[in-house]
């Protein structure tokens, strides 16, 4: 599910919210934590930061578990390829000004930033 946002809305860092949204995903959960700490007002940016954090921490844990067990290494490789594609799609959606919600994760993240 996507929701369109206006481009050019300024943020705490003084750049467009679509740029900050993209940057939330750029360094996966590292940049997500940064934007959750810095951006207190803009819900578009906070949503993308939270979604990036939850998604990529989960993927990192899943990859770590599957690489420990030798027979699951092919599954880990598939997860890494799919997560790279997901990373690119999420960055593009945020840059386009869309609030692209992943199934389950998107709803959870939206509820968390509303608190």
pLDDT digits (tens, 9 = 90+) for 36-88: 999 999 999 999 999 999 999 999 999 999 999 999 999 999 999 999 999 99
pLDDT reading at 1 higher than 80: no
For residue 109, is it within any domain? no
| Cα 75 from Cα 102, distance rounded (Å) | 21
Percent of the chain with pLDDT over 90: 85
Closest CA to 96 of 16, 13, 11: 16
For residue 10, is it within any domain? no
pLDDT at 31: 96
pTM: 0.89
For residue 61, is it within any domain? yes
For residue 7, is it within any domain? no
Token digits of residue 14:
């003084």
For residue 114, is it within any domain? no
Mean pLDDT across the chain: 92
The residue segments making up the domain with residue 85 are: 17-104
Question: For the chain, how many structural domains are there in total?
Answer: 1
Split at pLDDT 50, 70, 90, the class of 108 is very high
pLDDT reading at 5 higher than 60: no
Token digits of residue 59:
């993927």
The enclosing H or E element of 50 equals helix 43-68
Closest CA to 112 of 57, 54, 68, 64: 54
């Amino acid at each position: 599910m996507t929701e369109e946002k206006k481009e050019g809305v300024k943020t705490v860092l003084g750049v467009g919210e679509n740029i900050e949204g993209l940057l939330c995903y750029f360094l996966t959960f590292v940049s997500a934590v940064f934007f959750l700490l810095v951006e207190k007002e803009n819900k578009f940016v906070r949503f993308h930061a939270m979604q990036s954090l939850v998604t990529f921490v989960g993927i990192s844990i899943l990859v770590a578990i599957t690489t420990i067990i030798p027979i699951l290494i092919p599954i880990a490789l598939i997860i890494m390829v799919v997560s790279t594609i997901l990373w690119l799609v999420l960055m593009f959606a945020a840059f386009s000004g869309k609030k692209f919600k992943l199934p389950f994760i998107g709803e959870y993240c939206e509820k968390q930033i509303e608190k």
